[in-house]
Structures are given as C-alpha cells and as structure tokens.
A and B are shown apart, each in its own frame.
Chain A
Amino acid sequence: MLANYLPILLFLIVSIGLGFTLLVAGKLLSPSKPSAQKNSPYECGFEAFEDARMKFDVRYYLVAILFILFDLEIAFLFPWAIVLDDIGVFGFLAMVVFLLVLVVGFIYEWMRGALEWE
C-alpha cells in the first residue's frame, strides 16, 4: 500500500531539489545591484499612494463571507443539474429543502440589515 506513494515521494524530492537548486543558482550567478527604484513596490507604473497595510472596513468581511456562502451553493447546483435525470423527484426535493434552508437564512440576514452598507 505504501509503495504506491513512492512516485509522490520522488516527485516531492525532485521538486524540492529543483526549486532549491534554481534559487541557489540564481543567488550565486546573477549580478545583484539594488537601488531605491528597484526596491520600491510596483503599482502599475505609478508611485505608491500610501502604505499597503491599511484598515479594511469590517463590512467587507461580512459581504465576503456571504458571497462565499452563496457561491458554494451555486457550486452544488451544477453537478445536481447534470444528474437531475438520474436522481429524480427525490433529488429535486432534496435540493429544494437545501435551498429553503439557505433562503430562510438569506431572508433573515436581509431583514436584519446585514446587507445594508450604512
């Protein structure tokens, strides 16, 4: 059983070895002449406006989480749609229940104002 993992092990060894070799080779062989221009962050060609470590509004996270939730829901819907013929009415009803749960949650967050920006 474990022997099946041998190729993976070899792959790991080779990839780690290769990466390491290339990095070391680059460090040793390439010329290194740093300057202020070269070290500054690249932002589509212009000067950087401000520090990148700024505070994000917490509401972004709320939106992001809600997005992920419904995004995943869609991800479930695709395979379900493809096999709908096979799984029949029961499969259809199962998805209806699943969506119902989500829809109730969605209505709840909507009514409680989670989607209002202000």
Chain B
Amino acid sequence: MNPLMTQNIRSLPYFIPEAILLGTLLLVLVCDLLQVKGKKTLATLPVTVTGLVACFAVSLNFGMNGDTASGLFHGMITLDPFALFFKYVFLGSTLFVVLMSRMGSDIDRKAHAEYHTILIAITLGLMLMAASTNLLMVYLSLEFVSILSYVAAGMQPRERRSREAALKYVLYGGAASAFMLYGMSLIYGMTGTTDIYLIRDTFIANSSYNFTLLFSVALILAGFGYKIAAAPFHMWAPDVYEGSPTAVTAFFSVAPKAAGFAVLIRVFGTWFSGVGDMGGFGESFTHLVGVMAIATMVVGNFGAMLQSNIKRFLAYSSIAHAGYLLMGIAMLPNFAEPGFRAILLYVIFYVFMNFGAFFVGALVMESTDSEDISAFRGLGKRNLMAAIVMAIFMFSLAGLPPLAGFIGKFYLFAAVIQQLTFFTLLMITVAIITSVVAAFYYFRIVRAMFLDPSTDTEPQPTSRLAQVMLTILVIPTVVFGVYWTPVIKVVDKGLVTHAPHVYETQTANTDTDQKESPVADLKTP
C-alpha cells in the first residue's frame, strides 16, 4: 500500500479519543432528530456525558500507559503528555459545563441537544488545538473552535444581548484570525514550511532571529492573544461574556483560554526556548509578551474594579488571570520550564476556582433574577454554605494562602523572579499592585455576602446536585492549597512534549520495518 496511507492508518489508533467525540456528536444529533419526530429514543444528556467520559477514559489510558506518539497524520498532530494534559482539562471542563447548564434555565430546553453538539464539537477543536504541531493545523483548529464559539455565544437567540455577543465575537475573531494568518504566512515565507519543528530547525540553521520574525510573532500573538483575551485583544470578552448563557461564559473563561496557552507554549516554546541568546531576539520577545502581560493585568484588574454586572466582573477577572499567566510565557527565552510549569499548575487550579465562582454566581443570578453584584447581598444569611464556598473561591482567585490560587500565583511569581532584570522587576511590581487591586474587588463580593445589610433573608437552599458539584470544586481548591505534590507530579508529566524525529524516513518506510514494530517511527525514542 501507499506508504503515505499506511502512515495515516497507523496514526488512527492514537486518534480514538477524538473519534469517540465525533461519534458522540453524530449520535446526539440523530437522537435529537428522532426526538423531534416524536420517536422514543435515548435522552441526549446521558449520551453526551457517556461520550465525554469514554473519551476521558481513553485519553487517561493513553496517559497511564505512557502510550504516546508524535508526527501523526504527517506531522499534523501529536499525542504527547502535554497534549494529553490539556485534553483532560478540556474534557473535565466540558463535562462540568454540560451538568451546570442542566441546572440553569437560560438555554432553551429544546435546544439542549444542539447545545451539547456544539459543546462536544468545541471540545474536539480544543483537543486538536492542544495537539497541533503544524501551523496549518493550529489555524484550522483555532478557527474550528472560534466558529463554534460564535454559535455558542448566541445560544439564546431571543436575547438581544446574546445576539450582540455572537456578532461581536465574530467581528473581533475574524480580525484576529486575519492578523494571525498574515503572521503565519510570513513565517512560511521565511522558512518554506508550516511544520513548527521544521520551522524551528530552519530558524536555527539560518539564525533568522530578525525584525521580520519579531513582526510575524507579534501578528501571531494577536491571534493567540484574542483566544486568551489578553490586552489589547480583550475587548470582545466582557460583552461576549455578559451576553452568552452563564454556563457558556464559564466554559469560555476556562477551556479556550487553556487551549490558547497550550498553543502558545507549543508554538513559541518550540521555536524560542532552549535555543540560546538568539542575538537579542530573546529579550525583544520577553519585552513584547511582557508588555502584553502588563497591559492585560492592568486592564483586567482595574476593569473588574469598575464593574457592577457579575458576568462582566468575572470576565475582567479572567482577563486579569490571563495577564498573570502571560508572565510565564514572557520568561520563555531564558527560563522556559518554570514558567510553563507554573502555567500548567495555574490552569488546573484555575479550572476549579473559576468554575466555582461562576457556579455560585449562576445560582445567585438564577435565584434573584438579577445580574448585579448587589444580588450577592445577604447571601450569608440566605444560604450560608454557598456564601462560604463563594468566599473561598474569591480568596483563591485573589491568591490568598492557604488556597490553590496562591500556590499558582507563587509558582508564577517564582518563575518571573528567577531572572532579575529591570523588566522582570517592572512586571513583578505591576503584578503585585494589581494583585492588591484584585483583592479589593474580590472582596466586594465577600463584603456584599457577609457585611452589607440586606432585607431579603429568606433561605434559598441549593439543590442536591449543586451541592455535590460545589463540593467537588471546593475541596481541591482548599486541599491543593495545602498539599499540591500530586498536582505537581501530574504537571511535570504533562510538561513533556514530543518532537517527531526524522521526517524523511516516514515516507521511506518499508513493510518489513512495520511488521516488527508497528509504531516504531511514531514514537519518540
């Protein structure tokens, strides 16, 4: 058989998680269709949950067995521990959001199947994003996620704000993609390839760390920065977050952001970490990303201070967190690993605390029918447990020990302080000042819950399922703040990326080789 084809066939087993998602997606559609036609069939929620759990299990199995491979589908994607780490994050987030939106009422019950389809498809896109090793694939998966996100943002077609959110998302997204594509085409022009590892090799061979490269990196950053909502590409976030259904907003603030950082680490980490001084290019890169980080921290934190809408408030808070994480990327040319470790660690903690904050926020918005921060007033009397849990999430987001958020922040600060220059000092100063600002605005919620007088003291108990979900979120937030060695172990495992070895041999393989070791050329030695 054609060797090109054999390579594809042999890549397939490593694509099972994605294939499962694809199958689930189609199954959900078919079930929904039959339901519409009045036939008795499987409910879509169990199908969705089963599909996601199955996908998670298979991915986990790959991770446990160390069954990894790179250069899949002609170097388009890879299945390395790094990609697997993010796959867990995405699948967990989606699972959570599916359950969370079950409790809310802002998405039409009739549209739930469509909504599940879109969520699964976004997850598929995110998984591809984290696994892409080719600029083309990066772009395709990023667009895949974006286009579906536009639809998800508009899941409440009767709400004016939801429509506005979808439209704004499309417009900003289109512009950002255009910039990114331009940057990628410049890189392609410089190197003649779209494979990120070959690009790195070409950079090293030609030592082409010049202004053109910096310019294209800046353009690509525009595209990635849009996905992680970093200033100055953050403008869409507050409006989109406000307009989208709450569960979708929670999803947007976690999963695509994590994917954005996965791609940032994969692409820029491959190109620029561990290649030496690069004739001053490293410093320029640090300044470029560092300025972006500073701007994001300032915009996010000061912006959040001025908000009165809960969702906008959380949107700005998530912008701010992207700013802290960007500091880890900025340190990449000199000290890549501590920064990456801090980012991965932070992502795990962030999933728990941010979902927690959104979840309690959604409960409050649902019960008071108000999106204003004053809706939190008197929650300490109405539902003490929810208020305490929310306070824990707020403290964790503010980075106070002994909670998980502090540990994340500690590792990030440590990654930055490791190298002391004027610029890192500036970054850390801004980080400290904005952290104090952050504490101030997170405490507004705490104050509203416990300190402010309230007239409404009627108890509002939470449902059993909500209690279970809150427990699942709050326990790691507290426990990981005191003992996070297990998380560090997972993260250290997830930091491993595989570069595919020699490309030429893949097409020149003979059949005899394959019989002896079916995946020999896919595995990294």
**A interface residues (Cβ-Cβ under 8 A, vs B):** 1-2, 5, 86-88, 90-91, 94, 100-101, 104-105, 107-108, 111-112
Partner among B26, B33, B206 whose Cβ is within 8 Å of the Cβ of A1? B206
Closest A residue to B27 by CB, please name it: A104
Smallest CB separation, A60 vs chain B (Å) = 18
Q: Which residue in chain A gives the minimum CB-CB distance to B189?
A: A5
- CB contacts (< 8 Å) of B208 on chain A: these are 1
Q: Are A88 and B33 in contact (CB under 8 A)?
A: no
Given A1-B206, A1-B208, A5-B189, A87 and B2 touching (CB < 8 A)?
Answer: yes
- Which residues from A are CB-within-8-Å of B167? none
Please give me the residue from chain A that is nearest to B32 by CB atom.
A108
Q: Is the interface of B mostly helix, strand, loop or mixed?
A: helix
Residues 36-76 of chain B, each 1 if its beta carbon lies under 8 Å from chain A, else 0? 11000000000000000000000000000000000000000
In angstroms, Cα B22 to Cα A112, docked, is 21
- Flag if B29 contacts A91 (CB, 8 Å): no
DSSP majority for the A interface? helix
CB within 8 Å for A107 and B5 given contacts A1-B190, A101-B26:
no
- The answer to whether B30 has its CB under 8 Å from any CB of chain A is yes
Verify B2–A104 contact, CB threshold 8 A. no
B206 to chain A, nearest CB (A): 7
**Other CB < 8 Å A-B pairs besides A1-B206, A88-B2, A101-B26, 17 of them?**
A2-B190, A2-B212, A5-B189, A86-B2, A88-B1, A90-B1, A90-B8, A90-B9, A91-B5, A94-B8, A104-B29, A105-B29, A108-B29, A108-B33, A111-B36, A111-B37, A112-B36
Find A104's partner among B4, B26, B36, B206 (CB 8 Å cutoff): B26
| Alpha-carbon distance between A90 and B4 when the two chains are bound, in angstroms | 11
CB distance from B74 to the nearest CB of A (A): 13
In Å, the complex CA distance between A67 and B32 comes to 24
B residues at A contact (CB < 8 Å): 1-2, 4-5, 8-9, 22, 26, 29-30, 32-33, 36-37, 189-190, 206, 208, 212
> Which A residues are in CB contact (< 8 Å) with B30?
104, 108
Cα distance A86–B1 in the bound complex, in angstroms: 8
Nearest CB of chain A from residue B15's CB, rounded to whole Å: 11
In the assembled complex, the CB of B47 is this many whole angstroms from the nearest CB of chain A, namely: 14
Q: List 10 A-B contacts (CB under 8 A).
A: A2-B190, A2-B212, A88-B2, A94-B8, A100-B26, A104-B30, A108-B29, A108-B33, A111-B36, A112-B36
Which 6 A-B residue pairs are closest in the complex by CB-CB distance?
A90-B5, A104-B26, A108-B29, A111-B33, A90-B9, A87-B5
Which residues of the other chain, A, contact B22 by a CB distance below 8 angstroms? 101
> B10 to chain A: closest CB distance in Å?
11
Q: How far is the CB of B413 from chain A (nearest CB, A)?
A: 40
Q: Which residues of B contact A104 (CB under 8 A)?
A: 26, 29-30
Report the separation of the CA atoms of residues A86 and B5 in the bound assembly, to the nearest whole angstrom.
9
Cβ–Cβ < 8 Å partners of A1 in chain B: 189-190, 206, 208
Q: How far is the CB of B210 from chain A (nearest CB, A)?
A: 9
Q: How far is the CA of A101 from the CA of B22 in the complex (A)?
A: 9
The residue of chain B having its C-beta at the shortest distance from the C-beta of A112 within the complex is B36
Contacts of B36 in A (CB 8 A): 111-112
A61-B122 Cα distance, complex, nearest whole Å: 24
Question: Smallest CB–CB gap between B235 and chain A, Å?
Answer: 26
Task: Give the interface centre of A1, A88, A112 by most chain B CB atoms within 10 Å.
Answer: A1
Q: How far is the CA of A86 from the CA of B9 in the complex (A)?
A: 14
Q: A87 contacts which chain B residues (CB < 8 A)?
A: 2, 4-5
| Residues on A with beta carbons closer than 8 Å to the beta carbon of B8 | 90, 94
Once the chains are docked, how many angstroms separate the CA of A66 from the CA of B282? 47
Residues of B within 8 A of A105 (CB): 29
- A107 B33 Cβ-Cβ under 8 A: yes
Chain A: minimal CB distance from B35 (Å): 11
Bound-state Cα–Cα, A111 to B33, Å: 7
A112 CA / B5 CA spacing, docked (Å): 38
Known pairs A101-B22, A104-B26, A112-B36; A88 contacts B206 (CB<8 A): no
Alpha-carbon gap, A90 to B2, bound state (A): 10
Q: Which residues of B contact A90 (CB under 8 A)?
A: 1, 5, 8-9
A5 to B212: give the CA distance in the assembly, Å. Answer: 13
Q: From A83, which residue of chain B is reached at the shortest CB distance?
A: B2
Q: Give chain B residues whose Cβ lies under 8 Å from the Cβ of A2.
A: 190, 212
Query: In the complex, what distance in Å separates the CA atom of A91 from the CA atom of B7?
Result: 12
Q: Please, which residues of chain A bring their CB within 8 A of the CB of B9?
A: 90
- Give Cα distance in the complex from A107 to B208, angstroms: 51
Inter-chain contacts of A107 with B (CB < 8 A): 33
* CA of A111 to CA of B26, assembled, Å: 15
Nearest CB in chain A to that of B113: its residue: A108
Which residues on the A side are within 8 Å of B206 (C-beta)?
1
- Tell me, rounded to whole Å, the shortest Cβ–Cβ distance linking B213 to chain A: 11
**Chain A nearest Cβ from B332, distance in angstroms:** 25
Which residues from chain A contact B212 at a C-beta distance below 8 Å?
A: 2
Closest to A93 in B: B9
- The residue among A87, A90, A91, A105 with the most chain B CB atoms within 10 A of its own CB is A90
Q: Give the Cβ gap from B143 to chain A, nearest Cβ, in Å.
A: 14
Q: Which residue of B lies closest to A86 (CB)?
A: B2
Chain B: CB-nearest residue to A97? B22
> With a CB–CB cut-off of 8 A, which chain B residues contact A100?
26
Cα-based distance from A70 to B32 in the complex (angstroms): 23
Q: Which residues of A contact B32 (CB under 8 A)?
A: 108
Q: Closest residue of chain A to B5, judged by CB?
A: A90
Kindly state the separation between the CA atoms of A107 and B4 in the bound complex, as whole angstroms.
33
